[in-house]
Structure 1
Amino acid sequence: MSLLQAYKNLPPKSKAAFGGFLLAWGFLGLQFADKAEAKLGLTPSEADKATLERVKPRVVVVPKAEEGNK
């Protein structure tokens, strides 16, 4: 039995409870992730941030050609 089929076989109240659990898990992750990173010593250094800025893709906006200049 696949995971999707097992989920489909759950009663509606169980599906709602599972969805609520996932929402709560995500909310708690967003609230405490920065604090956990700091406690575990996983915060990026300035050198890491500079390296990321260097390899990050850049978006270049090209102006649209006017209708008469095609």
Structure 2
Amino acid sequence: MSLIQAYRNLSSRTRIGLGIGLLIWGFAGLQLTPVVEEKLGLTPTEADKAALERMTPKIRVVPRDEKS
């Protein structure tokens, strides 16, 4: 039995509860991650931010000839 089929076999109340639980889990993760990163000393330094900026792809706009 596949995972999707097992999910579909659950009652509607159980599926709603599972969905709400996943939403709460995600919200808690978004709220607690900065606090945990700070306590563990995992906040990025300015050097880390600069290195990430250098790796970010740059987009250049090339003008297009308007030939209608």
Category of TM-score, reference length = shorter chain: 0.7 to 0.9
User: Gapped runs of 5+ residues in structure 2?
Assistant: none
Q: How does 1:3-18 map to 2 (within 5 A)?
A: 3-18=3-18
* TM-score (norm. length: structure 1): 0.83
Q: Does 1:41 align with 2:37?
A: no
User: Gapped runs of 5+ residues in structure 1?
Assistant: none
* TM-score (norm. length: structure 2): 0.85
Count the aligned residue pairs.
Answer: 68
Q: Deviations over 1:19-59 (max 9, x none)?
A: 00011111111111111110111111111111100001122
Runs of 4+ in 1 over 2 A off after TM superposition: 59-68
Q: Partner residue of 1:19?
A: 19
Q: CA deviation at 1:64?
A: 4.5
Percent identity of paired positions between Structure 1 and Structure 2? 54
